[in-house]
A and B are shown apart, each in its own frame.
Chain A
Amino acid sequence: MVAFTLNGRAHTLDVDPQMPLLWAIRDVIGLTGTKFGCGMAQCGACTVHVDGAPVRACQTEIGNIDGASITTIEGISGKVAETVQKVWAELDVPQCGYCQSGQIMSATALLTDTPKPSNDDIDSAMSGNLCRCATYHRIRAAIHEASNRLGG
């Protein structure tokens, strides 16, 4: 039995403790904004926040998050996240959009910790998030723009 908070709501799951958080969120709880891409923390499509830090849900066993607070793309809120989402849409960053939940989770974590990121900061925070459509040019622009709007 694992108890945790997901997007502000308490959940108790009676599942295999080895089940990755990704499949617990998607298949057991039914929130599908968090995506599956690789299953080995190589692509970042499954990025969620665990106690505020970006984590790859595909490599996080549910048994290890007892008591944690999890936020997914459906639950992010606050000025940073909302600015990131708004700028992302305004700049038409997404193409297919499949990886973008993970991109936004990583970008929000970056801007929360580093309000005025350099290009190198962006590279190191975002290079774990693959985008096969290669929207990287706009991801970079959107992070800088969100930073400006947030007064970073």
Chain B
Amino acid sequence: MLHFRSQTGAAQPTRRHFLIGTAAATAGLTIGYRLAVSSAEAQTATAPQAVNPFQAYVEITPDNKIIIHSSQFEMGQGSYFGIATLVMEELDGDWKQVDVIGAWGPTALYGNLAMGGAFQITGGSTSMTSSWERYRKAGATARAMLVSAAAKQWNVPESEIKVAGGTLTNASGRTVTFGDLAAAAAALPIPANVPLKPRERWTQIGSTTLKRYDSSGKTNGKQDYTIDVKMDGLLTAVMIHPPKFGAQVKRFDASKAKALDGVVDVVQIPRGIAVVGRNMWAALKGRDLTTVEWDESQAEQRGSAELLNEYRKLANGAGAVTARNDGNVAGAFSAGAQTIEAVYEFPYLAHAAIEPLNAVARISEDGRVEVWGGHQMPGLYQAIAAQVAGTTPDKVVLHVMKTGGSFGRRAVADGDLIAEAVSIAKALGPGKPVKVQWTRENDMRGGRYRPAYVHAMKASLDKDGKLVALYDHIVGQSIMDGGPFAMMIKDGIDPTSVEGAANMPYAIPNLKVDLTTVSSKIPVLWWRSVGSTHTAYAVETFVDELAAAAKRDPIDFRLAMLDKHPRHAAVLKLAAEKAGWGTPLPQGRFRGVALHESFSTFVAQVVEITVKNGSDFTVDRVVCAVDCGTAINPDQIRAQMEGGIGFGLGAILQEELTLTGGVVDQQNYDTYTPLRINQMPKVEVHIMASTEPPTGVGEPGVPPIGPAVANALRAATGKTVRQLPILKHLST
């Protein structure tokens, strides 16, 4: 969900990373925490020290369970399963033994290696890149230590010991379980340079038959999420937030609410008013009886239509900063044989996760602070919890919960939910644990949206139909501005605003991407695939339109500009081949294609739509080709492509978050409308065989679906839909 691109250098953890020890662990974090301590700095911060895998990554219990401690949090994207697969490949355990829990703490152990290692975070589709060597090494080292322990116990050479299915055996038939040996193994010296299995001996990585270890708990109601946390005396808090962003509580009257049976208290915290009940229903009733007067003098008063008007005007002028500038676009435009211009508009989007946001906090009499939640950035959240509670980070304990799909929404620089939960617990006093549970309406109106954007684009073809110049001026809010991520903004360019456009792969001799960043008090955030949610649509529909203007096949037109990008070209060809590109279609059926790289994963999609009449159409089939390097869990790659397609399709067809006079218009799923099953196309996923290091799949399935559908619609109607969502603007 976060932007950071995996960089090959940083993405290859060295042995040194693995061995950096727990001594590096506990440097207290403070707010204003320096996010991007450079990789080098992080490495020199402490001398290398051996890490015992049993104390950091792999816990083997006396009753023979394998509990893997995951640096990456799980929101359905399969990071726990992926990490377990890496460990199990090397460890040779039995999947029946496996469970995975969320680890948090020392960045030397759990820092995201795809982002330099200095910060523990799940995002940017980097979980597998970060974990690729770390967790295989953990599994291999643990296995080697188990073998050593068995060899010692039996007084036989290590070479005579076989490991399979969670047991060790020797030639004479002696058998011992991992659990029997775990304590002895963990006490042994940590071996250096344990070799990893060569690719040809893999049985887990790339297995087409391996299933998720955690599906059954999601079919019988047993898996607990933050909303399900139970403990003695747990109270439930419902929030009343300011109706406009930036407003503050002037005064409130909770006398009626407090008189209700079941309402425990009504407290003011920095983010609003919390109505605390013995259960959710009591809190909801108390909320309805609480009146709040707001000071809106500092609040955002503008609506989304006014903002988009402003963006359109700005997009007409010159960009404030330039993110890419090849050749000379201005000169090329005046020399071009055919020039085409287009303006695209993208609305705000909500994550609208089905588990409405929540967190649980408990402050004990001894000052210990515990927070249960979807801790996507544990170090930062620990620091925030400490600051809010008025204590030091070492007094804060996090419990990383499995989380309902959150699509970026739980990686928030100000830790909004964490701050609310701890603020309320503090206001109630020690010994009163509380769960803050947002309603759907809180969630929809609580901010942190995919920003609205305008792209003003212009391109020229020469007399032979070759694309010689392209200009894209992007206008919108910055996601990274104003928080610990602001240091990622270089020369005024928030990389999340331009990713997918500034790095477009096409060989266009004159190419310029400008950015004008605007500000408002509407909080914005990464939303599954971040910048590529809009750049892919703008670039891929525009390029498709240019292909048509050049009277070229849209795939041939792209391939001619991809000589230097063989992985892009390969997925495009694969998708075209599997979709039967160029073969005749029944009456009323049309194809469209799009290609996009995000988070170092390459995806091409060919869609087929059926147009019934005018604006009535269905998306029937999507053929998706993906190159994410080495495929760790092929079926999960498929699942993420399927889900990404459905997620992206809902957004481009019919999702839009609007504001009127600073107030969000939508409150629930009746007016903010994600995709439903009756709109889901048939999806076929083809995974490119690869020996490259693995890259992510959580986000990259999302960007191509929108432009592929729009391109199919243009094939049908001759018009590109340039304002989203499509269903609202198709007929206008």
Contacts and interface: CB of A to CB of B under 8 A. Distances in A.
Instruction: Describe B's contact surface by its main secondary structure.
Output: loop
A98 B639 CA distance: 16
Contacts of B227: 32, 35-36
A78 to B, nearest CB: 14
A43 B230 contact: no
A6 interface: no
Interface stretch (B54-62, B72-80, B457-465, B605-613): B72-80
A20 to B, nearest CB: 7
B222 to A, nearest CB: 7
A130 B680 contact: no
A130 B676 contact: yes
Instruction: Describe A's contact surface by its main secondary structure.
Output: loop
A5 B407 CA distance: 38
A133 B280 CA distance: 26
A16 interface: yes
A32 B229 CA distance: 9
A101 B639 contact: no
B219 A95 contact: no
Given A93-B215, A94-B215, A96-B76, A127 B221 contact: no
Given A33-B221, A36-B356, A133 B215 contact: no
Contacts of B219: 85, 88-89, 93-94, 97, 100, 104
B405 A98 contact: yes
A55 interface: no
A30 interface: yes
Contacts of B279: 23, 27-28
Contacts of B405: 95-96, 98, 132-133
A19 interface: yes
A34 B227 CA distance: 11
Contacts of B617: none
Interface residues of B, number: 61
Contacts of A39: 439-440, 668
Contacts of A96: 75-76, 218, 355, 402-405
B646 interface: yes
Contact of A73 (B220, B354, B647): B220
Interface string A3-26: 000000000000110011001001
A123 B354 contact: no
A95 B354 contact: no
B583 interface: no
Interface string B61-86: 00000000000000111100000000
Nearest to A73: B221
A35 B682 CA distance: 28
Given A45-B354, A101-B221, A88 B642 contact: no
Interface string B392-411: 00000000001111010000
A99 B224 CA distance: 12
Contacts of A92: 211-212, 215, 635-636, 639
A99 B669 CA distance: 14
Contacts of A40: 440, 668-670
A131 B728 CA distance: 22
Contacts of A138: 639, 642
Interface residues of A, number: 57
B154 interface: no
A83 to B, nearest CB: 11
Which residue, B227, B405, B635, B646, has most C-beta atoms of chain A within 10 A? Answer: B405
Interface in A25-73: 26-28, 30-40, 42-43, 45, 72-73
A127 B354 contact: no
A90 interface: yes
A20 B552 CA distance: 60
Nearest to A62: B281
B677 interface: yes
A27 B280 contact: yes
Contact of B76 (A88, A95, A137): A95
Contacts of B230: 30, 32
B642 A137 contact: yes
Contacts of B236: 27
B352 interface: yes
CB-CB nearest 7 A-B residue pairs:
A33-B221, A134-B646, A96-B76, A97-B218, A98-B404, A95-B76, A27-B279
Interface of B: 75-78, 211-212, 214-225, 227-228, 230, 236, 279-281, 285, 352-356, 402-405, 407, 437, 439-440, 635-636, 639, 642-647, 649-650, 668-670, 674-678, 680, 682-683
24 contacts: A27-B236, A33-B222, A35-B225, A35-B355, A37-B354, A38-B669, A72-B221, A88-B219, A89-B215, A90-B211, A92-B636, A92-B639, A93-B215, A97-B215, A100-B218, A123-B677, A124-B678, A131-B354, A132-B647, A133-B643, A134-B644, A135-B642, A137-B642, A138-B642
Given A36-B437, A132-B404, 6 more contacts: A33-B220, A43-B440, A104-B219, A131-B646, A134-B644, A139-B677
